[in-house]
């Protein structure tokens, strides 16, 4: 149920993001989803890739600070109110979303959204009992 | 092991008798042979024959770095140049370097004191000493070299630089002792990690680290990362070079000063007044046996205190605490005295924070602003902004509590702070630029 995400610490310096993308390209790693959160000093790049271990190792080798976190990927109906419905399920159970971002997808009827929770197991439980489909890691890496 | 039992464990009374005899001789020598000392003593109204007790030392004028510069290059030598067999010079960060000389006997004394130093640090005959101190005008390389040879160890005179090759040689030659600056030891540890070499792949057992001040936390980090005992050594070219004092491996608490060759004093850096034993102040040295370059009451600008309690290792020499800072490293931020070592101490007390930091001081209008850049290690990294921001806030808060002045903490990528192959550059003061 859980999906592995890598996160990378970046200083706000020009060219750093391009460098990460270049390193991953060279290692033949495909980026499936990404989000960049930033402050005035630094940013955190979060990625879901087709080979988490390889991406993590190669970036570490290049001197980046890299972390690994578990997130979940949720299928959201691609229509007005799709996301609102899911957030309501979580809100009703008092589950806090740390952050979320959309998945890159070429086609399909549903959108995929990545969620990061502190209480990940509680969130999985809540979403499943509400009949929301949660994607498995393998499914996602293959898309 | 104690290299020279007779002197190193001598009862204090006998030691002080030797000190007085040697002090009287050196004062006589500099008064007769060095115009600078004669002039300063005449101005102060002291004659060599006024030195009747050790306590009379404080009647003599201080010698400062400026005195050395004014007499550049050979003006303070107490012997004719043809008796000087070697010169060394300190890295003059501002202007000319300070030059020191050695007679044949001085070199011999230095080798003896460095043999004592290494023995005190647990090094012995049969050890393979990987000497990564710089060879050249700097005293570190040759000082260790001669001492290790005198001790009967095998010396690898590798000098500084090319860390990957250093590691290969340590591994292939089976080096058992590492001698270099503490920041370079950490640099070696970092490169070993990158190269996938673990401490077990090396035979290094002990490291003798000096030439820059380092904290207890840094010792703990070096010992953990390299799996060795890390020993602090102190020395400065103006006094002799390395081998003025060193920690014993038994205690690693306080550096034994070779008092049969050097007399330490602790003074108030502002008033010049001698402080009672145990009080913190500026360290001052008088050399007792040096021929070519004797110095009287040299102000080292290093801050420490003397430990007079006996040590379990058996040496009767007084100890000096690890250097706490330098009078000229002291930063004045909005009128508050700040030592970089205080900042390092705060950083190391926070779980997961590495001692890789840089302090940048600038002016915003008339106001001094201090930024402390801290590298984000894997341990403190988080995928959540709020976690990193609250860490930066916490460091800011703890620094403010310790320093009594506020600063900004900026988190930076690992290795973005320049790693030195020699001395670490911790402070960038843009106010002076």
Share of chain B above pLDDT 90, in %: 77
pLDDT in tens, A52-69: 999 999 999 998 999 999
Whether residue B346 sits in one domain with residue B376: yes
Distance (Å, whole) CA A69 – CA B185: 33
Nearest by CB to A39, from B377, B385, B412: name it.
Answer: B385
Which whole number is the average pLDDT over B394-407?
92
Identify the domain boundary among B304, B328, B352: B328
Whether residue B404 sits in one domain with residue B288: no
pLDDT number for residue B252: 96
Give ipTM to 2 decimals: 0.86
Interface contacts A/B by beta carbons within 8 Å: 52
pLDDT number for residue B276: 94
pLDDT number for residue B427: 87
State yes or no: pLDDT of A85 exceeds 60. yes
Whether residue B426 sits in one domain with residue B298: no
Residue B82 DSSP code = G
pLDDT number for residue B410: 94
Q: Cβ distance B288 to B275 under 8 Å?
A: no
State yes or no: pLDDT of B190 exceeds 80. yes
Greatest mean pLDDT among A107-116, B54-63, B186-195, B397-406 lies in: B54-63
Q: What is the CATH number of the domain that holds B375?
A: 3.30.300.30
Spell out which residues of chain B touch residue A96, defining contact as CB-CB under 8 Å: none
Interface test with A, best of B383, B390, B414, B417 (most A CBs within 10 A): B383
Nearest by CB to A39, from B383, B389, B412: name it.
Answer: B389
Contact B376/A37, CB-based, under 8 Å?
no
Identify the domain boundary among B302, B328, B354: B328
State yes or no: pLDDT of B420 exceeds 60. no
Q: How many CB atoms lie within 10 A of CB A143?
A: 17
Q: Which residue is closest to A66 within chain B, CA to CA?
A: B378
Mean pLDDT of chain A: 90
Distance (Å, whole) CA B122 – CA B151: 11
Whether residue B341 sits in one domain with residue B315: no
Interface test with B, best of A47, A58, A65, A117 (most B CBs within 10 A): A65
pLDDT number for residue B215: 84
Closest-CA distance of chain A to residue B383, Å: 6
How does strand B325-326 pair with strand B319-320? unpaired
Nearest by CB to A11, from B378, B382, B413: name it.
Answer: B413
Spell out which residues of chain A touch residue B356, defining contact as CB-CB under 8 Å: none
Q: How many CB atoms lie within 10 A of CB B341?
A: 19
Residue B4 DSSP code = -
Closest-CA distance of chain B to residue A6, Å: 8
pLDDT number for residue B309: 95
**Dihedral of the CA atoms B269, B274, B278, B282 (nearest 10)?**
30
The helix-helix angle for A120-129 and A82-92 (nearest 10°) equals 120
Contact B378/A65, CB-based, under 8 Å?
yes
Token pair belonging to B30 = 């500099």
Closest-CA distance of chain A to residue B410, Å: 7
Q: Cβ distance B78 to B291 under 8 Å?
A: yes
pLDDT number for residue B91: 65
Q: Residue B376 belongs to what domain range? A: 331-432
- Quote the number of domains for chain B: 2
- Classify the phi-psi angles of B118: left when phi > 0, otherwise alpha if psi is within -120 to 50, otherwise beta: alpha
Domains defined for chain A, CATH in brackets: 2-69 (3.30.2130.10), 70-142 (3.30.2130.10)
Whether residue B214 sits in one domain with residue B68: yes
State yes or no: pLDDT of A106 exceeds 60. no
Whether residue B343 sits in one domain with residue B316: no
State yes or no: pLDDT of A107 exceeds 60. no
pLDDT in tens, B83-127: 999 999 986 555 678 899 999 999 999 999 999 999 999 999 999
Whether residue B259 sits in one domain with residue B157: yes
Spell out which residues of chain B touch residue A5, defining contact as CB-CB under 8 Å: 383
Q: Which residue is closest to B376 within chain A, CA to CA?
A: A65
Contact A9/B415, CB-based, under 8 Å?
no
State yes or no: pLDDT of A141 exceeds 80. no
State yes or no: pLDDT of B269 exceeds 60. yes
pLDDT in tens, B333-388: 887 778 887 888 888 888 888 778 899 999 888 888 999 999 998 889 999 999 99
Burial of B7 (0-12, 13-18, 19+ CB in 10 A): buried
Structure confidence at residue B423 as a pLDDT band (50, 70, 90): low
Contact A44/B414, CB-based, under 8 Å?
no
pLDDT number for residue B331: 82
Spell out which residues of chain B touch residue A57, defining contact as CB-CB under 8 Å: none
Which whole number is the average pLDDT over B50-59?
97
Nearest by CB to A9, from B389, B410, B413: name it.
Answer: B413
Contact B376/A5, CB-based, under 8 Å?
no
pLDDT number for residue A125: 93
Q: What is the CATH number of the domain that holds B291?
A: 3.40.50.12780
Q: DSSP alpha helices (H): ranges in chain A?
A: 16-26, 52-61, 82-92, 120-129, 137-142
Nearest to A11 by CA among B62, B411, B317: B411
State yes or no: pLDDT of B199 exceeds 80. yes
Contact A98/B384, CB-based, under 8 Å?
yes
Whether residue B236 sits in one domain with residue B358: no
Structure confidence at residue B433 as a pLDDT band (50, 70, 90): low
Distances (CA, A) of B432 to B94, B361, B363: 13, 9, 10
Whether residue B339 sits in one domain with residue B323: no
State yes or no: pLDDT of B28 exceeds 80. yes
Whether residue B350 sits in one domain with residue B316: no
Greatest mean pLDDT among A16-30, A105-119, B418-432 lies in: A16-30
pLDDT in tens, B207-246: 999 988 888 888 999 999 999 999 999 999 999 999 999 9
Spell out which residues of chain B touch residue A46, defining contact as CB-CB under 8 Å: 383
Q: Cβ distance B135 to B145 under 8 Å?
A: yes
Higher pLDDT pick, B192 / B91 = B192
Whether residue B166 sits in one domain with residue B192: yes
pTM over 0.80: no
pLDDT in tens, B278-289: 988 999 999 999
Contact A67/B382, CB-based, under 8 Å?
yes
Spell out which residues of chain B touch residue A99, defining contact as CB-CB under 8 Å: 384
Whether residue B292 sits in one domain with residue B267: yes
Identify the domain boundary among B286, B309, B328: B328
Nearest by CB to A65, from B381, B384, B385: name it.
Answer: B381
pLDDT number for residue B416: 66
pLDDT in tens, B151-160: 999 999 999 8
Which whole number is the average pLDDT over B313-331?
88
């Amino acid at each position: 149920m859980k999906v592995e995400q890598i996160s990378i610490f970046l200083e706000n310096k020009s060219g750093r993001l391009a460098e990460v993308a270049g390193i991953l390209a060279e290692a033949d790693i495909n980026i499936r989803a990404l989000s960049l959160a930033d402050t005035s000093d630094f940013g955190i790049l979060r990625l879901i890739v087709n080979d988490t271990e390889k991406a993590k190792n190669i970036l570490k080798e290049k001197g980046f600070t890299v972390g690994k976190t578990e997130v979940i990927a949720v299928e959201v109906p691609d229509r007005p109110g799709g996301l609102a419905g899911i957030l309501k399920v979580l809100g009703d159970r008092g589950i806090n979303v740390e952050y979320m971002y959309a998945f890159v997808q070429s086609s399909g009827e549903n959108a995929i959204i990545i969620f990061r929770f502190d209480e990940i197991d509680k969130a999985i439980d809540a979403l499943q009992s509400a009949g929301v489909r949660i994607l498995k890691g393998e499914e996602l890496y293959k898309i | 092991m104690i290299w020279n039992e007779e002197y190193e464990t001598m009862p204090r009374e006998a030691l002080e008798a030797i000190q007085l005899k040697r002090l009287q001789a050196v004062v006589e020598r500099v008064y007769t042979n060095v115009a600078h000392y004669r002039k300063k003593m005449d101005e102060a109204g002291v004659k060599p024959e006024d030195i009747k007790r050790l306590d009379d030392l404080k009647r003599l004028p201080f010698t400062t770095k400026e005195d050395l510069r004014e007499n550049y290059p050979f003006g303070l030598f107490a012997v004719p140049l043809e008796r000087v067999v070697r010169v060394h010079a300190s890295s003059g960060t501002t202007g000319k370097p300070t030059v020191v000389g050695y007679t044949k006997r001085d070199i011999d004394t230095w080798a003896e004191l460095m043999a004592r130093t290494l023995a005190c640090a647990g090094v012995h005959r049969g050890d393979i000493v990987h000497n990564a101190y710089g060879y050249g005008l700097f005293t570190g390389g040759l000082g260790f070299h001669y001492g290790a040879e005198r001790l009967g160890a095998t010396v690898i005179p590798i000098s500084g630089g090319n860390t990957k090759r250093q590691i290969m040689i340590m591994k292939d030659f089976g080096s058992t002792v590492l001698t270099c600056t503490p920041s370079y030891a950490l640099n070696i540890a970092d490169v070993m990690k990158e190269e996938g070499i673990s401490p077990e792949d090396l035979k290094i057992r002990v490291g003798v680290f000096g030439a820059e001040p380092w904290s207890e936390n840094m010792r703990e980090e070096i010992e953990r990362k390299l799996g060795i005992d890390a020993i602090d050594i102190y020395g400065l070219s103006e006094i002799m070079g390395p081998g003025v004092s060193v920690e014993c491996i038994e205690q690693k608490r306080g550096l034994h000063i070779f008092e049969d060759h050097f007399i330490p004093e602790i003074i108030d850096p502002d008033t010049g007044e001698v402080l009672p034993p145990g009080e913190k102040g500026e360290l001052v040295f008088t050399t007792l046996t040096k021929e070519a370059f004797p110095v009287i009451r040299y102000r080292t600008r290093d801050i420490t205190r003397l430990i007079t309690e006996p040590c379990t290792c058996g040496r009767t020499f007084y100890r000096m605490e690890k250097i706490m800072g330098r009078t000229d490293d002291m930063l004045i931020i909005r009128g508050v005295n700040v030592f970089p070592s205080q900042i390092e101490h705060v950083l190391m007390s926070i779980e997961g924070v590495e001692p890789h930091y840089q302090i940048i001081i600038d002016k915003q209008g008339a106001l001094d602003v201090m930024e402390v850049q801290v590298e984000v290690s894997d341990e403190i990294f988080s995928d959540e902004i709020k976690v990193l921001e609250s860490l930066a806030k916490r460091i800011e808060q703890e620094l403010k509590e310790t320093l009594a002045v506020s600063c900004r903490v900026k988190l930076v990528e690992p290795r973005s702070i320049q790693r030195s192959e020699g001395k670490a550059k911790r402070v960038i003061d843009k106010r002076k630029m």
